[in-house]
Structure 1
Amino acid sequence: MRTAYRARERPCEDIAEVNVLQALSTFNLVFAFRDTRLTFMAKVGTPVLWALPP
Structure 2
Amino acid sequence: MAEGRLRILLTDDEEAPVPIHVVSPEGRRAPAKTRAFVDLAAARLRADPRVNPAA
Query: Which one has a larger percent strand, Structure 1 or Structure 2?
Result: 1
TM-score by length of 2: 0.22
TM-score by length of 1: 0.22
